[in-house]
Structure 1
């Protein structure tokens, strides 16, 4: 007998297609006089149904959400004397988001030269983004679980939930939020 491993609206990786998709329908295959389904198929809206072994669940990180780190790269275009007004002359921040020092965030030298203090602050914020995301998820979860919470706590949990949704939203999703500037309500 088969049991459903995934549920409707769950985000899964579809291996045969090589893309992420949402499960639109869970389709059990029933046999007469059997109390449980024999097989479970999943409709992901990709033209055919998939079996459990063709799908992978999205990994949910618990605890340590990432090892992003701030590194310094040498400024190739300016000498340390030319950029003496920078916080660390001769270098600029690089946020590395991958274990092998590949992916990450870098800023063009001209933009860094315009306002180095702001770029340094952005780099520190980006490094802390995984921890801030985990914190927002925890606040949203705790706020949803506590029916007797104060109105201030409920409002904070609602803002955390909205922030988590905005971060996890697909860029191609039809939403009015994409046109709005990202500004924290204070």
Structure 2
């Protein structure tokens, strides 16, 4: 069952479009013989209804956390401009190099200079995979740190040390509020 997370006339940031809008209508999807709607969508006047995970409030709009549901970072392969596939047959995927897409458009993200890729292609491939997995790893670190804070008396010392390391990493990335 779904509950509305936003209300009519609330200002929200529409992530897929990259703009601010005001919720004009709340659109519940009802199913026969159910007391509550199955899903809730929001009409913000941009031509289609949006799900709650595609919207965020002004308070959340500052990057204070990474939501793995919305941060779909992934690795794409782009052709080498500086070498043909025959010239780099020893590379993990000859004729291409990785680009990590960190935005909603295929153009945004992380790239590496061709010379650097040629020197250590396996290292760059690993970097691309690690960067693409970063949002999910941050959520995992946060879960470990939160669990240790609430259940510290029941955890072995070694696991408390791991949780402390996770907390320090998060603080180094996000600041003291993490």
Provide the TM-score with structure 2 as the length reference: 0.60
Deviation at 1:101, TM superposition (A): 1.2
Higher relative contact order (CA 8 A, sep 6+): 2
Give 2:169's aligned residue: 163
How many residues in Structure 1 have an aligned counterpart in Structure 2? 116
CA distance in 1, matches of 2:162, 2:70: 22
Higher Rg of the two aligned structures: 1
CA distance in 2, matches of 1:61, 1:111: 29
Q: Map 1:1-186 to 2 at 5 A.
A: 56-59=58-61, 60=65, 62=67, 64=69, 66-148=71-153, 149-169=155-175
Deviation at 1:82, TM superposition (A): 1.0
CA RMSD, aligned part only?
2.0
Cα contact 2:68–2:136 (8 A) shared by 1: no
Deviation at 1:169, TM superposition (A): 3.3
Cα distance change on mapping 1:156 and 1:110 into 2, 3 Å: same
SS state at 2:87 partner: coil
1:153-184 deviations in Å (ceiling 9; x for gaps): 211111100011111139xxxxxxxxxxxxxx
CA distance in 2, matches of 1:56, 1:96: 25
1:88-114 deviations in Å (ceiling 9; x for gaps): 111000000111213100100000000
Task: Give runs of ≥4 in structure 1 deviating > 4 Å.
Answer: 59-63
CA distance in 2, matches of 1:133, 1:159: 12
CA distance in 2, matches of 1:89, 1:61: 33
Cα contact 1:112–1:119 (8 A) shared by 2: yes
Gaps of 5+ in 1: 1-54, 171-186
Provide the TM-score with structure 1 as the length reference: 0.58
CA distance in 1, matches of 2:142, 2:123: 27
Gaps of 5+ in 2: 1-56
CA distance in 2, matches of 1:73, 1:135: 30
Give 2:40's aligned residue: none
